[in-house]
Chains A and B, each alone.
Chain A
Amino acid sequence: MQYQEYTQSEYNFEECTKCTICTAYCPVMQVNPLYPGPKQAGPDGERLRLRDPGFFDAALKYCLNCKRCEVYCPSEVKVADLIQSARIRYERTPPKVRDYLLASTDVMGKLARPVAPIVNFATRQQLTRTAMDVTLRIDRHRTFPEYSARGFEGWLKRRKKEQAAFPEQVAYYHGCYVNYNYPQLGKDLVKVLNAMGVGVQLLEKEQCCGIALIVNGQSAQARKKALHNVESLGKAVESGLKVVTTSSTCTLTIRDEYPSLLEVDNAAVRDSVLMATRFICEKLEQGATLPFRNDFHKRIAYHTPCHMARLGWGIFSQRLLQMIPGVEFTPLEQTCCGMAGTYGFKKENYANSQAIGAPLFDQIRAVNPDVVACDCETCKWQIEMSTGYKVENPISILAEAISDNGKD
């Protein structure tokens, strides 16, 4: 109705009824006395900031952008977007060297890959970690994701012909993690999709989704990447392809943060960018089948990453895992793991990051599963480091549960 059109405020902030529900769910507010909480940092603060930007509070940097406040808000106020956009508009403290390093996931990947064994060896050493702790303020307790000597893109390029032979095609936005750190996840996706008769293509040229840049005060660079990615995604979508993904955060960024925080119009591609678990789930519902092994047995606990919760798609990953014969499935109660991408790497956040994750770690220990399933790579690092339990993307579990066709 037109009447609503003219009364809707940016990020819906005037819809806030001050009900305080978000404050009950903000993970940071429970552990960090310096953080004013989503209600005050978001809609309450916005009222003041609109009057005078001097009201901007530097403590907004403690927001880990998990978006749980938006999931639980009954009035659909985009609380986290309000906070991040305020940081983009008003934050004047330049990012530290460390923030540049942490945010440049693709540049770091490109630099590290040729010398991956050396980098991996170095980041495992206590001495290096202490040095980084002291000089860069990257917490020494953190384990670094290892770099892979051979990237995923090259692997798939070498199989271009073979993939093109499949009757149905999708494009895959693999993200930095799959390309530089963990190509196996990409290979697992190819195995599963191939088993359904779907071939996998690369995008013409993808770049980092940019989320790490957004939250590390480099939104201008993030916007460049967004514009590039939308164009590249657009070519695939125009040629009739769906684009599947395996990282919930990249997906949320491309679908929702681009227009909301970076003012990049993604309308032409948004609906075609899907988590692979959703894509597969929908295909199975339409009658496709997967060649499940009959000797597969696993006790799986599923952790819904915050951004998967915000996408509202946790149900697809859950259903998919529950479909696997021989799986004993336990959904974990929804709570943030505390990692939030680069947030948990920072020395000043480390203690809070662990405190936020503690209830999740306790749950996992109580369930004592064979493996924790989760659609987010940074949750994986956090949970593996903090609990010792192995964490796998649902796609990797699926790949293990179907029979091999004899190929890598």
Chain B
Amino acid sequence: MRYDTVIIGGGLAGLTAGIRLQKAGKNTAIVSTGQNALYFFSGCFESIQEPTPEIQSLFSEAGIRLHYSPGVRLMPMGTFKESALALEDVSLFPSPKFGRKVLIINFMAYHDFFSSFLAEGLEKQGMECRIRFLNLGDLAQPELGPNQMRAVQIARKMDEVWDKVVQEVRVLLKDEDTVILPQVFGLNDATIPERIRQGIPARVVFAATLPPSVPGIRTQMLLKKRYEVLGGTYLMGDRVTGAHVYEDTVQNVVTKHLDRHYLEADNFILASGGFFSKGLDSNPFKVYEPLFELDMDYNTDRNAWYDPSFTNHQPYMGFGVKTDADFRPSRKGVPVKNLYVIGSILGETHPELGCGAGLAIRSALKVANLITEPHAVPGVYTE
């Protein structure tokens, strides 16, 4: 099968590139080994500090509304982190003391949302907190079993009974100016969080639960849907196992399920993720990129890979595939002409692009632009 561009990896970077290329009239395919880091997405694009109309409109066309308001966001353990761009249901505050009195809502027997840690953190900021538990069994029947007390299963229930939660909170609310709810709303309907906010006469803040992340799954579903509506082919649950590279050009890639049926393309984008997604791998002797064996930017001294203190920045997190300014990698020093590398497989080799979601989106858009408008950038290879 022949495409204009084949994208290896279907996470935030791969989907962003795919959507952008489909919009430009290209025919693309994405090969994705299972799901991706969006399942742990905080809903915040942390390393993006400036306003980004291009990103905001790309997301809003997919039905994902972002808001830009530089400040801090609430972390699951009651601490705060600087952020400027986030999904609409993730609150950003000018300062950590965002309220006076806070009502924190949790669910009985739900172990993935730490309401007392949250309260402790907020009390340190001088806010008064009260925690109340809702009984899911009262809200929705049949009751969820102990194995089902997870963010996604609760969120599925909440898609149906969110308005009952609003009623309960209205009854519980005394003189608090803020209500914190676990982020289990709007899995299949992105408008629910906003409707909850309208129904409760206080500021409503949704705080992250343990994974899987409900706003992350929603984001993934909407981006994938947008990509497919634009005509993209998303091969879920397949893995690129090899590639045929002739001299300095990738001819095609081979996948596990399509085996002899190679995927051919003019350009290839490698968005296979970091260590979690096996875009990068390691053994006791080296850190490597397993698919093309691309040249790496990393410290070959194994003792320098880790910092013995677990909570410190770990040097291996910075390792990534070495590319030129146009995100093209090399093999044994020879540049590969029609392969581009984006997303967290780059590690911290492009610090100006930030990390995580910021790196994924920025590198994806840059590469999509290089592919669609090669002549605008001098020196870029075209067929």
Which A residues lie at the B interface, using CB under 8 A?
A: 1, 3-4, 17, 19-21, 23-24, 29-30, 32-37, 40, 70-76, 271, 278, 282, 285, 309-313, 315, 331, 333-334
Contacts and interface: CB of A to CB of B under 8 A. Distances in A.
B35 interface: yes
B145 to A, nearest CB: 2
Contacts of A30: 148, 153, 156
Interface in B189-244: 211-212, 217, 225, 228, 233, 235-239
Nearest to A24: B152
Contacts of B153: 23, 29-30
Contact of A20 (B212, B235, B239): B212
Given A37-B147, A331-B228, A24 B34 contact: no
B97 interface: no
Interface stretch (B46-54, B115-123, B255-263): B255-263
Contact of A23 (B212, B261, B276): B212
B150 interface: yes
A70 B40 CA distance: 19
A375 B171 CA distance: 52
B237 A309 contact: yes
B39 A19 contact: yes
A348 to B, nearest CB: 15
A73 B261 CA distance: 23
26 contacts: A3-B283, A19-B39, A19-B40, A19-B276, A20-B39, A20-B212, A21-B35, A21-B212, A23-B153, A24-B35, A24-B39, A24-B152, A24-B217, A33-B143, A33-B144, A33-B147, A37-B148, A72-B35, A72-B237, A74-B33, A74-B276, A271-B259, A282-B261, A309-B237, A312-B255, A315-B235
Contacts of B260: 271
Contacts of B146: 33
B148 A24 contact: no
Contact of B147 (A3, A40, A312, A331): A40
Contacts of A331: 228
A21 B39 contact: yes
Interface residues of B, number: 41
Given A33-B143, A285-B1, A312-B256, A70 B237 contact: yes
B36 interface: yes
Most buried by B among A74, A309, A310, A331: A74
A72 B212 contact: no
Contact of A315 (B148, B150, B212, B233): B233
Given A23-B150, A33-B145, A76-B34, A312 B235 contact: yes
B259 A71 contact: no
Most buried by A among B36, B40, B237, B261: B237
A17 B276 CA distance: 9
Nearest to A270: B259
B277 interface: yes
Given A76-B33, A309-B236, A19 B145 contact: no
Nearest to A359: B188
B142 interface: yes
Contacts of B156: 30
A272 to B, nearest CB: 11
Given A21-B34, A76-B33, A71 B236 contact: yes
Contacts of B144: 33
B259 A19 contact: no
Contacts of B39: 19-21, 24
B147 A311 contact: no
A36 B35 contact: no
Given A35-B147, A74-B36, A313 B283 contact: no
Contacts of B143: 33
Contact of A36 (B147, B278, B283): B147
Interface of B: 1, 33-36, 39-40, 142-148, 150, 152-153, 156, 211-212, 217, 225, 228, 233, 235-239, 255-261, 276-278, 283-284
A71 B239 CA distance: 10
Contacts of B145: 32-34
Most buried by B among A4, A37, A282, A312: A312
A333 B143 CA distance: 27
Nearest to B259: A271
Nearest to A73: B34
Contacts of A32: 145
Contacts of B36: 74
Given A24-B39, A74-B34, A285-B1, A312 B237 contact: yes
Given A34-B145, A71-B236, A315-B235, 7 more contacts: A3-B283, A3-B284, A33-B145, A71-B34, A72-B35, A74-B35, A333-B225
Most buried by B among A24, A311, A333: A24
A20 B236 contact: no
Contact of A75 (B34, B147, B217, B225): B34
Most buried by B among A3, A33, A36: A33
Nearest to B238: A312
Contact of A19 (B142, B150, B211, B261): B211
A332 to B, nearest CB: 11
Given A17-B276, A29-B148, A33-B147, A310 B237 contact: yes
Contacts of A34: 145
A1 B239 CA distance: 18
A20 B150 contact: yes
A73 B278 CA distance: 12
B356 to A, nearest CB: 16
B349 to A, nearest CB: 23
Contacts of A71: 34, 236-237
Contacts of A24: 35, 39, 152, 212, 217
A75 B239 CA distance: 11
Counting from the closest, the 8 A-B pairs by CB-CB distance are A33-B145, A312-B257, A71-B237, A74-B34, A24-B152, A312-B238, A21-B35, A73-B34
Contacts of A37: 147-148
Contacts of B233: 315
A271 B256 CA distance: 12
A36 B150 CA distance: 12
B217 A72 contact: no
Contacts of A29: 147-148, 153
A333 B142 CA distance: 26
Contact of B34 (A4, A23, A72): A72
A35 B148 CA distance: 9
A187 to B, nearest CB: 28
Most buried by B among A23, A36, A309: A23
Nearest to A15: B278
Contacts of B278: 75
Contacts of A70: 237
Contacts of A4: 283
Nearest to B39: A21
A312 B148 contact: no
A236 B196 CA distance: 63
B261 A33 contact: no
A185 to B, nearest CB: 24
